[in-house]
Structure 1
Amino acid sequence: MNNLSPRRTGGRAARRASRAAPLDATIRPVRAGMEGGTLKVLTDVQILRIHDAALDALERIGLAGAPPSGIAYLTGAGAVLGDDGRLRFPRALVEETIARANRKITLHSRDGVNDLHLGGTRVHYGTAGAAVNMVDVHGRKYRESTLQDLHDAARIVDVLDNVHFCQRPMVARDITDNLEMELNTVYACTTGTTKHVGTSFTEPHHVGPALEMLYMIAGGEEEFRTRPFISNSNCFVVPPMRFATESCEVMERCIQGGMPVLLLSAGMAGATAPSTIAGAIVQATAECLAGLVYVNAVKPGHPAIFGTWPFGLDLRTGAMSIGSGEQALLSAGCAQMHQFYGVPGGAAGGASDSKLPDMQAGWEQMCSNVMAGLAGVNIVYEAAGMHASLLGFCHESLILSDDLIGQALRCVRGIEVDDETLALDQMEAVCVGGPGHYLGTEATLARMQRDHCYPTLGDRSSPKEWLELGKPDLVEKAVARKEEILGRPSAARLNPMLDAEIRKKFAIHLKG
């Protein structure tokens, strides 16, 4: 039986300090890779119907636009090139590819501390996107995003417990040369965080120099191939059902260079994908299955994330509705398709259509982040800091999202039911000759940290306490936290000699 006696007051300050100290990752109430999958928005019959429809689409419609190298890889694997230039995929080819695809992928961190083990229903949250603007919370306005903004975002991600990876969330618009911009993106992200990084390339010939830089950072090509700490986010299709020629060539070179690939299909329901939720999932599934065949034709078993990212559309205006309930359903349904195939998958969640970190942003971010997590999406992209339907990124919102995702992960963790948590012995001890309440008992205090996820910046004070504290504003607290983080040197910075070598070889725009 648990000891339910109220604790003595002696040493209270020490106990409070102990409880305030950071918890070991193994006993934190929430952490990366928690098992989701309890939410099922599709029945087994519906999943099979979507699967069959996706296979029908690949066999009957196929995809156009593959580069010559892609045609060679895919026809060599068993795809059929028609007179209309479309590649069609026999069911047997797709099913064989699914059976031999890589089912457990590790997205490595640079320091080995924050590796992400994908598979099953393990859930991870992080940034993504290609926002072209930054949110200025003080002026309530937007400005063009810069390389420094990107580096600062990576530095913020590095210290947030519940933001598990940093896929490039914005474009460095102060660099006009595309090659320099993409090389500086790699540098800015990898020197801002040791967590796993994702990025993209617009031209195939940009991949080689980027890999050269990454091999230098890793300590050699073999070291990078063993633990690739950056992956290629690849929009390999231009929906509907058309390969993106140059992106496919980029993908081939990334695979050959040892970089994991995110197969990203991002159709807009009602514009570049069917307007129905089921139809949008069918098309995204078909496109990603084609991508999976492609990757495995280039290199069997290469790590590839099944990136079904169908987006919602406000059919009244044609504007993206990434913060909608429909978007949350799209991502949750896609999660079940990933699990049906048994391959690591990603989807979008946590982005907002709101322009500022306000109440609309809160409900939109929480809705899709919770549903994606409960559905068991392995990698929830766009989960932190993204506004204006992917057009704006906000550092302060990124910081606030750490609390929000913490609460989402607590929902993912769910309810443990066992002899201890049923707490009958506690009830008896408290009610029969006990203190008549559970405050301060050993049992309550023993679980207060490992069962409860407490916000870092969120306010739970009484109105009186809030007034006495000067009526703190949540966004202002995030501003102060940002200044604190960026006031310290980056923990991911390279050693000076290596940094000098990289700066000698590449046109690095960040100040040393």
Structure 2
Amino acid sequence: MSTERRRRSSERSQGRGTAAIPQLPLRRVQNPYPPMALLSADQIEAIHEASMHILENFGIEVMSPRALSLFEKAGAKVDHATQTVWLDRGMVADALKTTQSSYTLTPRNLARKINLGGNDINFTLVAGPPNVHDMERGRRAGNYADYCDLVRLAQHFNCIHMIGNQVCAPVEMPANSRHLDTYFANVTLTDKSFHVSAIGRGRALDGIAMMAISRGLTLDQMRDDPGVTTIISVNSPRRFDDMMAEGLMTMAEFGQSVAVTPFTLMGAMSPVTLAGALAQQNAEALFGVVLTQLVRPGAPVMYGAFTSNVDMRSGAPAFGTPENTKANIASGQLARRYSLPYRTTPGSASNAADAQGTYETMMALWGAVLGHGNLVYHAAGWQEGGLTASFEKLIIDVEMIQHMMEFLTPIEVNEGELALDALGRVPTGGHFFGEPHTLERYSTAFYQPMLSNWQNYEAWQEAGGLDATARATRLWKKALEEYVEPEMDVSVREALEAYVAKRKEEIGVEEP
């Protein structure tokens, strides 16, 4: 976008007749409360021991010759014929000694850096759906125009701290090079960190390189100052495919963040019991952690968890269930057992941005927060079990995230907050509306929602009688009007364009 177009966009967002969408300011979000513990210390150790038994006796299939060689060189038992690796607990313990309990991701805007670990909590845009939906245009295949609009919304809302990997797949573009276009949108339409695709070495390295260009750094300079992350999905049960393994090793080699995340759906890809699923998840996650440290000791890595259940009547995945919520909390306990940052996810199986979608997501979101998740992935826009990115659901989720952020703001107890003077001035049976203590604080005393409607029934009807989903439609459209593209030096943009053009020429063009 030209400087003149950005100026006009800024003027539109600041000078329109209607007020801007209320939202919380950009800030570091931390969880000041003790993490919830569903499992006792003995139960955590029992799960750990079961995980060690899996690694030592059952093994993990690794479909990458390079990874097999790394494990073998480090002393693991390797069967190249079956591509199986067995780890002893000593190798796991040694790898955990070199991991980091927290680290920072720095994008091109230093004000947007995020900390992964400790009490910090960060929320990301939904990632990976092949479809997109809004209430006006309906469900459709993912495309680049919608992709860019969803990324703009992520930039506009301060509570979304990071862009996920392809908020929707732009299926009209060649599959072998579309990641370059989505990276370009991520790094130009936003100034936030983003998730790169780790399906093989090339896609991972392209994301690292483009973030480095946007920051004016070399790849070597980025090794000790990471700017991007990825999710390594384990093909549960107990399989790392070659592309995921190569992506993991590339990210670790260049010092970028990796969240090793088994996809354990109880009753399908893991045992039907929560304890068994957690033991399997733990073994698979630790296996990936070990691989990152064999590539580069100290490489930033997160404990990833995505354990939920299936509907045993149909086999369909279910999210936001009580079991999913308990898994989110318990997985946080396991991550802390190993002093690793923790990635978790809220989700819903609802096919619409409706009450089901909201209560399932909120249920899992509470699990993520109570479990002290550091990276809450797929936090905004997830619909249809992750198969659709929804504009309305994104708005609903932003409202829920902001509610959670305000819940995480500690209660102040001091002379002004105790309000004894005001209590003494208001007579018995009186009210506090006109009290100076109230008048000094009324505009900032409580969270101001952007989506909730607190009108009485008659006023709500007179205003159109819109439910929350219909109001969400209005809000995402208004947010796109308010969006302002972050400034980027012309030379940096040209360098990014040149990189994309060069890589597309090297890759070659495939039919979409």
Query: What TM-score, normalized by structure 1, do the two folds share?
Result: 0.86
Task: Label 1:490 to 1:201 Cα distance change in 2 as closer, same or farther (>3 A).
Answer: farther
Instruction: Specify the alignment match of 2:200 in structure 1.
Output: 203
CA gap of 1:71–1:478, structure 2 versus 1, over 3 A, is same
Partners of 2:94 and 2:313 lie apart in 1 by 42
Query: Paired residue for 1:482?
Result: 476
Q: Alignment partner of 1:382: what SS? A: strand
Sort the Cα spacing of 1:305 and 1:128 in 2 relative to 1 into closer, same or farther, 3 A. farther
Task: Kindly indicate whether residue 328 of structure 2 is the aligned counterpart of residue 354 of structure 1.
Answer: no
Aligned-residue sequence identity (percent) comes to: 23
User: CA RMSD, aligned part only?
Assistant: 3.0
2:196–2:207 Cα contact (<8 Å) kept: no
Q: Does 1:150 align with 2:147?
A: yes
Partner of 2:10: none
**Match of 1:45, as an amino acid?**
D
Distance 1:75 1:451 in 2: 60
Q: Residue 356 of structure 1: SS of its match in structure 2?
A: coil
SS where residue 121 of structure 2 aligns?
Answer: strand
* Contact 1:37–1:373 (CA under 8 A) maintained in structure 2: no
For residues 417 and 139 of structure 2, the distance between their equivalents in structure 1, rounded to whole angstroms, comes to 51
Q: How far off is 1:215 after superposition?
A: 2.8
Give the C-alpha shift of residue 24 in structure 1: 5.9
Shift of residue 238, structure 1, vs aligned partner = 1.3
| 1:104 CA displacement | 1.0
Q: 2:123 aligns with which of 108, 122, 125?
A: 125
Partner of 2:18: none
Shift of 1:370: 1.8
Partners of 1:504 and 1:85 lie apart in 2 by 40
User: In the comparison of the two structures, how many residue pairs are matched?
Assistant: 484
* Deviates further, 448-457 or 369-378: 448-457
* Alpha-carbon separation, structure 2, partners of 1:477 and 1:336: 38
Partners of 1:35 and 1:376 within 8 A in 2: no
Distance change (3 Å), C-alpha of 1:504 and 1:163:
closer
Cα pair 2:123 2:161 within 8 Å, conserved: yes
Alpha-carbon distance change, 342 to 499 in structure 1, aligned in 2, over 3 angstroms: same
In the alignment, the residues of structure 2 paired with residue 492 and residue 180 of structure 1 have an alpha-carbon distance, to the nearest angstrom, of 25
Q: Given that residues 197 and 204 in structure 2 are in contact (C-alpha distance below 8 angstroms), is that contact kept between their aligned partners in structure 1?
A: no
* Structure 2 unmatched runs, 5+: 1-20
- TM-score by structure 2 length? 0.86
Q: Conserved in 2, the CA contact under 8 Å of 1:125 and 1:383?
A: yes
The CA deviation string for residues 295-347 of structure 1, in whole angstroms up to 9 with x for no partner, is 01111111111112123211110101013222112112111111222110101
Residue 130 of structure 1 deviates from its aligned partner by 1.0
Q: Which residue of 1 aligns with 2:288?
A: 291
Match of 1:96 among 94, 97, 109: 94
Rounded to whole Å, the distance in 2 between the matches of 1:21 and 1:67 is: 49
Which residue in the other structure is 2:181 paired with?
184
Confirm or deny that 1:438 pairs with 2:435. no
Partner residue, 1:10? none
Q: Which residue of 2 aligns with 1:214?
A: 211
**C-alpha distance 22-178 of structure 1, shift in aligned 2 (>3 A):** closer
Residue of structure 2 in register with 1:12 after alignment: none
Aligned residues of 1:42 and 1:333 also touching (Cα < 8 A): yes
Once the 2 structures are TM-superposed, how far is the Cα of residue 23 of structure 1 from its aligned partner? 6.8
- Name 2:135's counterpart in structure 1: 137
Deviates most, 294-303 or 268-277: 268-277
Aligned residues of 1:36 and 1:413 also touching (Cα < 8 A): no
Measured against aligned partners, the alpha-carbon deviations of 1:459-478 in whole angstroms (never above 9, x if no partner) come to: 11111321332324433333
Gaps of 5+ in 1: 1-19
Separation of aligned partners in 2, 1:82 and 1:327: 35
Which of 270, 275, 293 pairs up with 1:273? 270
Shift of 1:254: 2.1
Counterpart selection for 1:386 from 348, 369, 382: 382
What is the match of residue 232 of structure 1? 230
